[in-house]
């Protein structure tokens, strides 16, 4: 997997193991070629990392020459030819299953954002969306039967999932050729669900497909929306707004996990979100949304801090000191914002008549994760101390990590989509020292993998490697 190491564990974001060692799930030593590949006479190398944001369609080979009859999405790639023998016959059995079984087990947001209503309405007029829903539902049904050791109809469901997926992709190809795809109000959700299907189908435990097919695809679709359209009141804009609010957390998590810039931190997007909550979107506001509005600023500051640390030795002394103070002040301001959000959110919870709120629990777990992440922006570098930067004491970090684990269990039990927990669990894992916490994190990641998101195995692999490195470099404690 392209490295999921962030600034919160003190290492640069880079992948260290060759492809052969990744497949064998062993450590990689000895440069290139590594010791394992020399011993086994295997080719030693790493696949080129895809770094640009691009939307990936599964349709035809990327090197094929096709006539451009209509506008395609920016950066679109066409890969893996579709099988021509797939039967086009449809079934109505999976639409209800999607809403009664898949969505309750994979909640992306709470009741304030009407994604269920939007999806149901759009599926009646969009064959591509109906087929994308059927594909995800059929695959989910098959995986649930496997977990329950119920083998009946397993092959039928696999075939029906691929049939629905193929129909949806072909429908999209036709709309792209005609230049009508992005005008279709269901285009965003079709893209998102097909990316979700591809990630679950491929069973890629390295995480490469999670990055290229899902995270970059979702990022591109979000970015294609105009910031000013968030506040528009027409039904089409309303459905696009619901998609944006339901899925932007994946773009935020991508930025955190991969230490990669996000368009959400730019002034035009932050201003557009502020206008949204003052007008048309006021009814959708929730404390969680206020937190998500500010999270891209933490990622942006962390990336700038990393760049400063890499270049600090080349800067004149006075300029270096000025930047150290400036970055520390900015970090203290963001930390104050985060702490104020926590106070406001807890006040919200105490309002008479307030019911248990899944969205607020998601907000709390991202608050705890970002508190640790923000401290790691500074405490892994020698330029700052607790006296002049937002560095948390060890006991506070331990408390945040324990809250992440507690909330992860509760959220999974309530059906929250397990990919939402990958960033919080990765942050908690980077700070986990004791065996009990580490086993708890591994158990939560295994549960995520069993639900069909095998990218969790890549996080498990990275954490295991990190813990082994930490244990080797830490002095033995004597009672």
pLDDT tens digits along 388-427: 999 999 999 999 999 999 999 999 888 887 788 999 999 9
Alpha-carbon span 448 to 207, nearest angstrom: 13
Q: How confident is the model at residue 288 (pLDDT cuts 50, 70, 90)?
A: very high
Q: Which pairs from 472-475 meet CB under 8 Å and 24+ separation?
A: none
Measure Cα distances from 424 to 174, 355, 367, 429 in Å: 40, 24, 9, 8
pLDDT at 475: 54
Range in 262-271, 312-321, 426-435, 461-470 with the lowest mean pLDDT: 461-470
Instruction: Say if residue 457's pLDDT is above 70.
Output: yes
Q: How confident is the model at residue 212 (pLDDT cuts 50, 70, 90)?
A: low
Q: How confident is the model at residue 60 (pLDDT cuts 50, 70, 90)?
A: very low
Instruction: Say if residue 337's pLDDT is above 90.
Output: yes
Instruction: Say if residue 163's pLDDT is above 60.
Output: yes
Residue 58, beta-bridge partner list: 79
Pair of tokens at residue 64: 């094929």
Instruction: Say if residue 374's pLDDT is above 60.
Output: yes
Measure Cα distances from 446 to 382, 407, 431, 456 in Å: 36, 16, 19, 7
pLDDT at 398: 96
Give the DSSP H or E segment for 79. strand 77-79
Residues 6+ away with beta carbon under 8 Å from 113 = 242, 245, 246, 284
Overall average pLDDT of the 230-249 stretch = 83
Mean pLDDT of the chain: 80
Q: How confident is the model at residue 303 (pLDDT cuts 50, 70, 90)?
A: very high
Per-residue 3-state assignment (H helix, E strand, C coil) for 45-73:
CCCCCCCCCCCEEECCCCCCCCCCCCCCC
Q: How confident is the model at residue 56 (pLDDT cuts 50, 70, 90)?
A: very low
Residue 416, beta-bridge partner list: 107
Per DSSP bridges, beta strands 77-79 and 56-58 are parallel
Share of the chain above pLDDT 90, in %: 35
**With contact defined as beta carbons under 8 Å apart, do 195 and 213 qualify?**
yes
CB atoms closer than 10 angstroms to residue 373: 25
Alpha-carbon span 40 to 410, nearest angstrom: 45
Strand, coil or helix: 340 = helix
Give the DSSP H or E segment for 77. strand 77-79
pLDDT at 108: 67
Share of the chain above pLDDT 70, in %: 77
Alpha-carbon span 189 to 208, nearest angstrom: 22
Among 77-81, 124-128, 155-159, 180-184, top mean pLDDT goes to 124-128
Overall average pLDDT of the 185-212 stretch = 76
Alpha-carbon span 108 to 420, nearest angstrom: 8
Alpha-carbon span 185 to 199, nearest angstrom: 23
pLDDT at 147: 60
Pair of tokens at residue 340: 């104020």
pLDDT in tens, 116-147: 888 888 998 899 999 999 998 888 888 777 66
pLDDT at 40: 77
pLDDT at 205: 62
Is 201 or 50 the better-scoring residue by pLDDT?
Answer: 201
pLDDT at 44: 82
Pair of tokens at residue 234: 């027409």
Among 219-223, 336-340, 449-453, top mean pLDDT goes to 336-340
Overall average pLDDT of the 438-454 stretch = 88
pLDDT in tens, 262-287: 999 999 999 999 888 887 667 778 89
pLDDT at 103: 80
Overall average pLDDT of the 34-53 stretch = 66
Instruction: Say if residue 155's pLDDT is above 80.
Output: no
Alpha-carbon span 137 to 157, nearest angstrom: 9
First and final C-alpha spacing in the chain: 39
**With contact defined as beta carbons under 8 Å apart, do 348 and 288 qualify?**
no
pLDDT in tens, 62-109: 333 333 333 334 334 434 444 444 444 556 788 888 888 888 777 666
Q: CA quadruple 139, 144, 146, 149: dihedral positive or negative?
A: negative
């Amino acid at each position: 997997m392209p490295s999921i190491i962030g600034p919160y564990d003190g290492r640069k974001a880079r992948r260290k193991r060759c492809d052969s060692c990744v497949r064998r799930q062993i450590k990689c030593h000895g440069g290139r070629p590594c010791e394992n590949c020399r011993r086994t006479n295997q080719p030693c190398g790493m696949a080129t990392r895809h770094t640009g944001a691009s939307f990936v369609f599964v349709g035809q080979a990327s090197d094929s020459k096709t006539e451009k009859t209509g506008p395609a999405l920016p950066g679109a790639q066409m890969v893996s030819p579709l099988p021509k023998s797939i039967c086009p016959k449809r079934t109505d059995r999976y639409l209800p299953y999607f809403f009664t079984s898949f969505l309750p087990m994979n909640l992306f947001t709470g009741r304030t954002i009407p994604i269920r209503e939007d999806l149901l309405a759009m599926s009646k007029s969009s064959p591509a969306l109906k087929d994308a829903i059927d594909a995800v539902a059929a695959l989910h049904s098959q995986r649930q039967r496997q977990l329950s050791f119920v083998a009946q109809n397993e092959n039928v469901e696999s075939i029906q999932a691929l049939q629905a997926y193929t129909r949806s992709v072909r429908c999209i190809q036709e709309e792209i050729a005609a230049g009508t795809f992005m005008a279709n109000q269901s285009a965003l959700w079709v893209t998102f669900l097909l990316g979700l299907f591809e990630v679950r189908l491929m069973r890629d435990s390295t995480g490469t497909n999670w990055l290229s097919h899902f995270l970059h695809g979702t990022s591109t679709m979000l970015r294609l929306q105009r910031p000013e359209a968030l506040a528009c009141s027409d039904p089409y804009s309303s459905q696009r707004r619901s998609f944006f609010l339901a899925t932007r957390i994946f773009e935020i998590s991508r930025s955190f996990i991969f230490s990669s810039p996000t368009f959400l931190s730019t002034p035009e997007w932050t201003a557009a979100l502020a206008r949204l909550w003052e007008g048309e979107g006021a009814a959708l506001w929730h404390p969680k949304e206020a937190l998500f509005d500010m999270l891209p600023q933490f990622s942006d500051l962390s990336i700038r801090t990393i760049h400063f640390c890499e270049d600090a030795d080349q800067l004149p002394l006075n300029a270096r000191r000025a930047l150290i103070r400036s970055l520390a002040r900015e970090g203290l301001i963001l930390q104050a914002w985060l702490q104020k959000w926590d106070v406001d959110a807890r006040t919200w919870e105490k309002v008479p008549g307030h019911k248990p709120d899944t969205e607020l629990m998601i907000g709390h777990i991202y608050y705890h994760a970002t508190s640790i992440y923000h401290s790691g922006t500074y405490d892994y570098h020698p330029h700052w101390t607790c006296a002049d930067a937002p560095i948390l004491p060890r006991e506070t970090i331990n408390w945040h990590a324990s809250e992440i684990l507690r909330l992860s269990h509760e959220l999974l039990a309530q059906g929250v989509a397990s990919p939402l927990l990958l960033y919080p669990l990765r942050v908690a894992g980077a700070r986990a020292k004791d065996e009990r916490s580490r086993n708890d994190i591994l158990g939560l990641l295994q549960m995520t993998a069993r639900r069909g998101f095998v990218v969790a195995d890549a996080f498990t692999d990275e954490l295991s490697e990190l813990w082994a490195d930490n244990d080797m470099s830490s002095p033995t404690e004597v009672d």
